[in-house]
Every structure is written in structure tokens, then in C-alpha cells.
Chains A and B, each alone.
Chain A
Amino acid sequence: MKKLTSIALISALACLLLSACRLTPSPRDPVTLTMWHNYGGDMQQTMDMLVDKFNSTEGKENGITIDVREISSSSELNNSLSMIVNGDPGAPDMPDIFTGYPKIAVQFAEKGILCDLDGYFSKKELANYVDAFVDEGRLPDGGLYVFPIAKSTEILYLNRTLFDRFAAETGADIAEFATFEGIARLSALYYRWTDSATPDIPNDGKTFYAADSWFNLAEVGMAQLGESLFATDNALRLNSAAYARIFSTVYDGASSGGMAIYNGYSSDLSKTGDLVCSTGSSAGILFYGDTVTYSNGVVENVQYDILPYPVFDGGQKLALQRGGGLMVAKSDEKREYAACLFIKWLTAAQQNMQFISETGYLPVTKQAFEEDIEQHLASLSDSRIKKMLTAVLSMYGSYDFFTAPTFPEFDSVSKNYEKTFKAAMLRAQQPGAEATSAAAMSQFISDLNER
């Protein structure tokens, strides 16, 4: 008994000594961390409030202040972060905490300037989070570099008001939205129908569908069809029957004039009635209003429906799991510890639910995701978020989720693909375009390889 007591005492003393050795901030030895995030617009106020709350409570007790320096879109942040990674002239100072995707994290991690968060989270703490979300933030070396804060997937936004008007006159079937092939058919039909409304003006039909990311569509489409867009050497694998099907589906829709090729978010086109449906991040729900404003200034109230992500005919029900996370710059132990303390606080169930309730993201803790969300849905005041979350939760019951691979060239490869693909589709909409999708695809692959 005495021996056991001695061991316990020695262990307690060792723990005390070890914890005393870790350099941590305190009110007498405070630390201020800079932060960049992409939660702007309607989400900004919620994030502002949470950061202020942390600074006044947990942060104050522990001598930690979070100073938000940049709030921008994820693509803008990625550009700034890429400049930091590349050491470009004029690049800003690296923030302590920032939001981003694994595709950026992998570049930072490769240069050794990103903190491996495993050192600051115990296994017990990590077990509180949805495993798949945590795993998404692990890079090939096994380290945890991107900590989940809020997740999203891709869904289909449908302007039900415009579609019903279209369907009433053409007999278009809403079941067609289940597949991309169906959407391509509806796109062609819609263009013809809208074109016919003004017989005196030829080729003035309207677009029906757009994807926020044609690269995502290809990547998920390949997975739905049982293949991968990337070969084992991380090169694009485009010479496959599955990809040819994906390309021809989009090509048919675009060349018919029914699919919009646009260098912005689909929600922009939806706001002016230039689209009936689009696929994009579920977190983009707040960018879809409840009105359409036509170029003559007339504003029409409309209703949006949220449908599951379409599947290529015969393919597996599979959608992309999206949503970046928080990364911490490699620094001294005190700063890293402080950053992780903030992340723990921000992603704890209470704060996480508060954040997602006003932003349209999915929570990341098991408790919030599996238990709190149900009662949370009933209390939501924003009908758009409520509708979206209901659809997404239903998808989580019937879909499998696909996580994009992470390797250093991923970001540049995806950007290059997007740009070249859009150029190919815009060409398809021009008079004198390639006669077949096979020819267009061949040209596309050739262009892609040249870049």
C-alpha cells in the first residue's frame, strides 16, 4: 500500500514538473496572436462576437488575445498564403492562426512552417470530434495540420419558382435533378424554351445550370463512377471512359447554351435569374437571397429548394466533403499552445453550435453533430439555413463522402484544370466549335498539358 502511495505521489510530482516545464501564457506573461479567416459577410458578426468573447473570458484568464487582422474569401486568403509560402516580395507577415484548406496546408507543411497540432491535443480530446473531419486535416506525413472548425458539402440549389414556371410549360421532370445527365437535358431544354420566348431574337436563350467548381464536379464524378481523377503519381487521369462521360455531359449542356461558364460564384447568376440551379458549397446558402432582380429593376420573390448533390447516372451516391479548418503557424511553444487553446475553445460544442447556427456550416464535434443538431434545427430562425441543414443531414444518411487528396501540387493542378476546362466550354458555346465532345475533349487535354 505504501509503495502504491509513493508511486502515486511521484507520478503526481512528475506531472506537475512536466506541466510546469511547458511554456504557457498567463495574465502576467500574455501573448497576442494574429488571425486571418474567411468568415465574412453574414458570418463575420458571429465570428467577431466569438473572438471578443474568447478574449474576455478564456483568453483573459490565460493571457491570450486574438487579433483578427484579415477577413476575406477563402480564395483571397489562399492567394496571400501562397505568396507567403513562396516568399514573394510584398507578401504579408504570416498570421499565427488562419483558415484554409488542406491543399494550402500541404504546401506550408512541406516548408516546415506549420504546427503539428497532435502535440497539443490529447487522444481523448480528439475523440470528441467527428473522426472523418479530423482525418481530413491529416497530411501524408500523418500529422494533424488542419483542425476542423466547420464543415460543408456540395448540394444542388434549385430556384423552384423559375423551375415550376418552366416545368408547367414544358413538362420538365424534377426527377431529372438526380443525375448530371438529367440536368444536362434540362439545360438544353430550358435554353430552347427561353430562346423561343423571343422568336425575333435568335440565340437569346438563358442558362439553366452552373457549377461553382467544374474541377470538383470532375473529381467527385470520377469517384461516383468508381475511378479517381488522379493517377498514383498525382497526375490527372483524363484518358478514361468515366472521364469522357463526365466531359461529354457538361459539353452537351454547355454547347446547347444551357450551362453557364462563369468566372464567379453561381449565386451571382442566380440573383439575376440567369440560372435555375447550381451546385456549390452548402455554406453558400446565405449568398442565395429570396429574390431575383431582373435587369429592368423588377424584383421577384422566389423560393429555393435544396436538393442532394446529383450523381452521374448509375454512379455511387457520393459527394465532396468540404470546409477548411484552422491552421497554426509553427512558432515557439507558448504561441502554439495559446493558438491551440483558442481552437479548443472555439470548436467546443457550445461555441461550435453558436457559430454554425448563423453560418450554415456543419458542426464538427460528435456531440454537436450527432445530438445537438436535431434540436438545434427546430430552433433555427433562418429558414434558408434550416432547409439546407435538413437536406445535408439527409445526405449524411444516404451518401458517402469524398475527401480531396492532399499533395503539394494539388492547388495549382486544380486551378489549371478549372481555367482550361472553362475555356474549352466557352469554345463549345461559340459558332464553329468542335463537332463532338470527343474532339473537344482531345483539344482540352492538349491545352491542359501545354499549360
Chain B
Amino acid sequence: MMRTKQKQRSRAPAMPHSGTTLHMRLIAFIAAGAIFIILSFSALLIMSGITSSSRNAVYYYLQSELDRVGGSMYDNFGRLSVQSVSLSQDISAVSDAFFNENKMNAAELAANPQLLEPLLARQIGPLISAFGRSTCSGAFIVLDATVLPDNSSGARAGIFLKVTRPNAVQSVENKIHYLRGPANVARSNGIDLLGQWRMEYDVNGEDFFSKTISAARNNPDLPLSRLYYWSGRTTLKGNSESGFLVSVPLRSADGTVYGVCGVEVSDRLFKLLYSPSENRYEGAFAAAAPTADGTVQAESGMIAGNYYLTGNKIEGELNISEGNYGFYQYRGETDYGGLHSELRLYPDGSAFTREKWAVGIMIPQAELSSIIYGSSASLIIIIVTLLLISMLISIIIAKRYLKPVTAAIDTIKSKDFSNTESSYREINDLMSFLAKQAQEQRQLIEEHELPPDLAPMLDEFLKNIRTLSPAEKNVFELYVRGYNASEIADKLHLSINTIKTHNRRIFGKLNVSSRKELLVYIDMMIELNLIEEV
């Protein structure tokens, strides 16, 4: 009966054990060490600033370019403003002489269209001289009068001269072309007409004309130096090239405002003068534009950069917001990032002091983000890769490390200790111990002629006796001496229920199912003279 039970117990399938395997613990332990080292190294890189080097480089580049371009623009635009005022004075002097010769005043000009061409013919000299004084692409004069009968049509007489090489400092000649004006004046001065030539301007909707005239008429006491106006990007009707125009009112000796004059900075000239100096970030470009209420009026501005990458203009407005790492973000149809500063175009007391402009160095946001986060992304990829490699290594090491242990377990399970040599000394010791025990068991069996299957069970029973508590051991010893339960209760002055409780614990610890089975083992102990051992 007992043998049957023992057999059943050994043949039962292995029950799942709770807890983490040694293999997993070992992987976790090695991986934790590797992860700690990698993350510590990464933290060191981040703290030392290596990951932010690209970000800093692009920031310093933008800042230095902004300083250079902004400074250059401030100087050049300032000079152009002053020289335009000077041009206005020259033209007014010539015009006043003309009015005197013709015994008229400036206010009568509109009523005398036959005088427009001769008056304009005299302005060629002052206009040409404007090119010698400033780096500009065009010089113009627009009179508030037309040769056409209808003065309200928007047509206005004037001259617009253009140079083909505005920045040609080395050139021996800088040929002047004729964009607007009476053809006869051009021919008599040997000036070729441009393909987009028209005789008169159409000033409908043209700020450079209407705003300047209006400001001058509303502020008769302001000097010309407080009345010049910078228009945003302007494309004269019928023209293909755009530009900024700085216009100054023409005021006669009697104070009549009869037109405007000024100079042009074409988009071509703007590109030549203000393109970012280094080709480090190919999408980078310089921009100048009016600003209002936190927006850049980009469509009124001009850009200088690689037109193939950026186009030659930006449509619509750009909303300014502060971005990360000190950069500004400019959100519009396309988003840009970069730096900007105010471009001061007007002096204190100007009629246009409320008009604000900005100069900026910008890069398409996608490119800027790629520059800023590119190195961080690389670092993240490297870290993740290292972590994956360390996990793999942990698994391999754990597997290799545990191989002798699992082999030892298999050996123990097979109870064949004939070939137990391992690379671990501890395992070798354990195997030796187990081999010795097995040997002793075999001797025991041989000495007492026990059936081979019973020996391990008895051996287990003997071991388990050591796990009994002192109270349980007292009860057990009384069973060994042949007492029954009620006798043990009397003997130990305990209730029968207490004895039953002890019994349950003793049975459990000794792995027996009944008092009868317990007594079988006790009988065997007595028979084998093993009582003394416990």
C-alpha cells in the first residue's frame, strides 16, 4: 500500500513552480548592469554638450549672419534713404527752375500735359547721378500728372531708369535702361528701352506713390528726411522684376507736392547683396519685410538665398512665435525657423515711424529641425542599438553560465553521478555530496535488504523528522514508544484535539497520509535500528 502511494507520488507530473527562473534572473542582472553603464555614458554625453553641438553651430551661424546682413542692410538702406532725399532736392531744384522759366507753379503741372516731357527730359541727369551715389538697381520719378486726358485713370508721367549690373563695382560701365518714361527722352539720351517699357506708370494701388504723396501733403512742415517711405516688395504693372522702393516726395519751392522720386533695390540686387555668406546650410536665406502684430508681412518682403530651394518669394504672412533653443518659428504656408531683429528704416519724428520692419535669417523648419535634432536622433539610435546588443549578450552569457547548472540538475534528476565533472567547483562539490549519499543509500539497502524503491522513501522520512517542532517531536517520540493518541494526550497533559492538530502537522511534514502509515515507517525504523539516528 505504501509502496503504491510512493510510486504514484513519483510518477505524478511536475507541478509548475512559482517564482522567477534563475535564467531570467541572470539575464535581468547582466542587462541591468549594461543598461546602467550605457545610460550613464549617454547622460555624460548630454551633460558635456556633445549632443547640442549641431544646435549651437546653427544658432551661432544664424546669429552671426543676422549681425552681418542686418548691419549691412541697415547701413545700405540708411544710405539709400539719405540719397533719395538728396535726389528729391536735386530734382526739385531742376523743376523749380523749369517752373520759373515757364512762368507757372507746380500745381499747374497737371493742367499742362505738353510740359511733362520737357520737364522729365531735364531729370535724366539727376536720376543717372543717383546710380553713382548708391548701390541701387533703379532710380525713378513719378509726377502727379499724366499726358492722358483723364487724370483719374491712375496713369502718371515719370521716368524709371534701371541698371543691368547694380552691384558691378569693377565694371567699366554700367549701362542704363529705360523702364518708364517718354520714348523720345530715352532716344535723345541714347538709352535703350527695356522689353517691359511703358510710357507712363499706373499708380493705382501703389503705396510708394499714394502713401508718400499723402504723408507729404498732410505734414507740410516736416522736412523731406522725415517723409521718405519704404514700400514693401513692389512689382510695377507690366514689369517682371520686383523690388523695394524708397520714395521721397517732390516738393516745390512754394510747398506744392507734385510727385515722388526715389531709388529701387531689386530682388536681384537684394539677392546679390544679402545672400548668406556661407553655403553651410543650403536652405538658409536672408529676408527683410514689414512686420505687424506678431506677423511678418512676408509677401511684401524679399528673400536672398538659393531660389531653386526657397523660391524667390514667400506668399502670405508668417506668424512669429518663440520656438525651442532660442530660435523663432515663422508659421505660414511653409514654416520656417531662425532669428530676426528689427530693421530700423525711419528716424524719430518720421511720418512713418509706426511702420516696422524686420530682417531675419531663416531656414525651412524641416531642415532646421533636422539640423537641431539630427545628432540627438543619431544618439538615440546608437543607445537603442547598444541596449539591444547588451540584451542579446545578456541572454547568451546567461545561457552559457547556466549550462553547467542545468546539466547538474539533469544529472541530479537522472541520479546518475558517474560522470559529473563540471567547470564549476560548487557543482562538483554538490555532485560529490550527492554521489556519496547515493552510495550510502545503496549500502543501506544492501545492508538491510530493503527493496530498492523503499529506501529513498525511508530516507526522505528520516530527513523530514528533523523538520518537526519540539512539541511535534515529543508527540512523535511517544508514537515511537507505542502510545496511542489519547495516551499521548494524558501523558503530555494536552487535549485530544491538540494532539490531533499535532498529528496533522506531523503527517504533513513527514509526508504520510495517516497514523497507520506513520506507524509503518516507525516500525521500519525500529526494525532497521534507526531510532537512535533521529
Contacts and interface: CB of A to CB of B under 8 A. Distances in A.
Contacts of B308: 49, 52-53, 55-56
A293 B199 CA distance: 7
Interface stretch (A71-79, A163-171, A330-338): A71-79
A287 interface: yes
A268 B240 contact: no
B195 A286 contact: yes
A217 B323 CA distance: 66
B463 to A, nearest CB: 79
B194 interface: yes
B240 A45 contact: yes
Nearest to B193: A268
B309 interface: yes
Contacts of B271: 48
Contact residues on B (Cβ < 8 Å of other chain), bracket: 35 or more
Contacts of B198: 293, 299
Nearest to B197: A271
Interface in B193-208: 193-200
Interface in B306-330: 306-309, 312
A41 interface: yes
Interface stretch (B168-176, B351-359, B381-389, B397-405): B168-176
Contacts of B187: 262, 264, 268
Contacts of A299: 198-199
A265 B171 CA distance: 23
A73 B164 contact: yes
Interface string A27-48: 0000000000000111011001
Contact of B195 (A41, A48, A69, A263): A41
B303 interface: no
Interface stretch (B37-45, B178-186, B427-435): B178-186
Nearest to A297: B147
A294 to B, nearest CB: 8
B181 to A, nearest CB: 11
Nearest to A69: B168
A92 B171 contact: yes
Given A52-B306, A56-B282, A92-B171, A295 B184 contact: yes
Contacts of A60: 282
Nearest to A270: B193
Nearest to B175: A76
B192 interface: yes
A242 B240 CA distance: 45
Nearest to B164: A72
A91 interface: yes
A255 to B, nearest CB: 21
Interface string A271-290: 11000000000000011110
Nearest to B195: A287
A65 interface: yes
B268 interface: yes
B171 A41 contact: no
B148 interface: yes
Q: Is the interface of A mostly helix, strand, loop or mixed?
A: mixed
Nearest to B184: A295
Contacts of A70: 165, 168, 171
Given A41-B194, A42-B240, A45-B240, A71 B164 contact: yes
Given A41-B195, A268-B192, A272-B183, A297 B155 contact: yes
Contacts of B168: 69-70, 92
B172 A91 contact: yes
A70 B192 CA distance: 18
B190 interface: yes
Contacts of B170: 92-93
Given A72-B165, A295-B183, A263 B199 contact: no
B164 A271 contact: no
B498 interface: no
Contacts of B241: 44
Contact of A79 (B117, B173, B307): B173
B192 A296 contact: no
A187 interface: no
B279 interface: yes
B192 A45 contact: no
B279 A80 contact: no
Interface in B290-342: 306-309, 312
B219 to A, nearest CB: 31
B307 A48 contact: yes
B173 A267 contact: no
B193 A267 contact: yes
A85 to B, nearest CB: 13
B173 A76 contact: yes
A415 to B, nearest CB: 16
A103 B282 CA distance: 39
B164 A76 contact: yes
A297 B200 contact: yes
Contact of A297 (B192, B196, B199): B199
A90 interface: yes
A445 interface: no
B175 A65 contact: no
Interface in A88-114: 88, 90-93
A375 B359 CA distance: 45
Contacts of A80: 171-173
Interface in A241-272: 262-265, 267-268, 271-272
Nearest to A40: B164
Contact of A45 (B148, B165, B312): B312
A348 interface: no
B272 to A, nearest CB: 8
A295 B181 CA distance: 10
A267 B195 contact: yes
Interface in B443-497: none
A178 interface: no
B240 A41 contact: yes
A83 interface: yes
A70 B172 CA distance: 12
A34 to B, nearest CB: 11
Contacts of B309: 52, 56
B146 interface: yes
Nearest to A59: B279
Nearest to B305: A52
A356 B312 CA distance: 20
Interface in B357-397: none
Report which residue of B186, B193, B197, B200 has the largest number of chain A beta carbons within 10 angstroms of its beta carbon.
B193
Contacts of B182: 295
A272 B268 CA distance: 28
A-B residue pairs, 9 tightest by C-beta: A52-B308, A297-B147, A92-B170, A53-B308, A287-B195, A268-B193, A293-B199, A297-B148, A272-B183
23 contacts: A41-B240, A42-B240, A52-B306, A55-B279, A69-B168, A70-B171, A72-B165, A80-B172, A92-B170, A92-B171, A264-B192, A265-B192, A268-B183, A268-B192, A268-B197, A271-B183, A288-B195, A289-B195, A293-B183, A293-B199, A295-B183, A295-B199, A298-B148
Interface of A: 40-42, 44-45, 48-49, 52-53, 55-56, 60, 65, 69-73, 76, 79-80, 83, 88, 90-93, 262-265, 267-268, 271-272, 286-289, 293, 295-299
Given A263-B190, A299-B199, 12 more contacts: A41-B195, A44-B241, A52-B308, A55-B308, A71-B268, A73-B192, A76-B164, A76-B165, A265-B193, A268-B186, A295-B182, A295-B183
